[in-house]
Homo-oligomer: A and B are copies of this chain.
């Protein structure tokens, strides 16, 4: 069996999207934490695209800057559309960027974020198998709205008519054009040159990419791939659409994780972003939001409303309600929260406890260490099995620079202590409650720094 040839993908991303009412171009609006164009590029790459040609116009620097920071940036070649003369013109602007070593070119929309890689791959393979020059995705809708309608004769696709140009009879048709195409690269060059060299002839005075279909129908043939799930091809033109597309993406992800053994107490209120990796027997309570590059090990329970971004959570951990984690790691069998805040660089070992109202930043807790209540640990190292008492604060900032605090294995920091960095508390050392520790405490020593108590009798007024 011959390997399916690969393809290159053009992505239409030049439009501002005025109905978004935004200072940000439409394709940079996010679905589950990722700009729409990111979803489209990644789906194309996963479906087998060898290179991506985004067509940029408005805010092209912002879009390019986003794409440049992706791991796949070497597969991107930007094309520019200086003025917007229609969809055919947009693709025409990309012709110079096409490489003929790819026999097929996909044309995708940067504002259709939910066309997934498996479907795109299936569509590509079906188009190749059809032998036709153009494949297009269509959908049968109960309400075809303002989509372009697919005109068929003897069941063969003849043309697309845009809604604005359609007759009442044509508007009654329910098969619509999703705006997603696979085209033989050679035919694409030829057809677009034809379209751009003749006058426009439509309600909007634009060069229509959909004229491609009539040209192909008259020549090397058109293949229509009717999609099974219409949400996959819905475009985003306003924030209502954005919310709907987000909801669909969210439900699709949650559905897949449930079938792989993740319990969602309430999938309708749980957000798991695209790149998150879960394990069987993870339990997610309502309102959990797992974002960015986050992974969670087996048997871990994440309670209500926990927000986790770019973090690695080990197996059999317990993240209690209302916690907030970013760029942190949590070891196996460790308990976090409720109301814990792990900031970037928090590295919590195995069998640790980080309790309520504790903030940890750029700090490592070795296995078995505890910080159970009302503490701030920043730029610190906490040894194995050390116990950080309630109300402990590492004074890591003196107004000009940050310094480091070191707490040894098995040390015990009494409650309400301030550790003025740079400072070190030795292994198995003690700090008395309420102390301000400015000098190092040796191993196994007691450091204490507080005023002596005196009582003044009869202070209260007689009643």
A-side residues, CB < 8 A to B, are 20-24, 29, 238-240, 242-243, 246-247, 250, 255, 258-269, 271, 280-281, 285-287, 289, 298-299, 303-305, 307, 320-322, 324, 338-339, 341, 355-357, 359, 373-376, 387, 389-391, 393, 395, 397-399, 412, 414-418, 420, 428-430, 432-439, 441-442, 444-460, 463
Contact = CB atoms under 8 A, between A and B. Distances in A.
A368 to B, nearest CB: 14
Contacts of A430: 399, 459-460
A263 B247 CA distance: 13
Q: Which secondary structure characterizes the binding site on chain A?
A: loop
Q: Which 5 pairs between the two chains have the least Cβ-Cβ distance?
A: A21-B261, A434-B436, A449-B453, A446-B459, A239-B258
B446 A455 contact: yes
Given A265-B271, A391-B376, A458 B445 contact: yes
B243 A258 contact: yes
Contact of A450 (B305, B412, B414, B450): B450
A247 B269 CA distance: 12
Contacts of A322: 305, 322, 324, 339
Given A258-B239, A305-B305, A433-B420, A266 B286 contact: no
A240 B265 contact: no
Contact of A436 (B324, B355, B453): B453
B374 A376 contact: yes
A279 B322 CA distance: 27
A239 B265 contact: no
Contacts of A445: 455-460
Contacts of A239: 258-259, 261-264
Contacts of A389: 393, 395, 397
A428 B457 CA distance: 11
Given A449-B452, A451-B450, A453-B439, A307 B299 contact: no
A391 B373 contact: no
A177 to B, nearest CB: 25
A390 B321 CA distance: 23
Nearest to A420: B433
A298 to B, nearest CB: 8
Given A268-B268, A415-B418, A456 B448 contact: yes
Nearest to A452: B449
A17 to B, nearest CB: 11
Contacts of A287: 269, 286-287, 304-305
Given A239-B264, A321-B324, A433-B418, A22 B246 contact: no
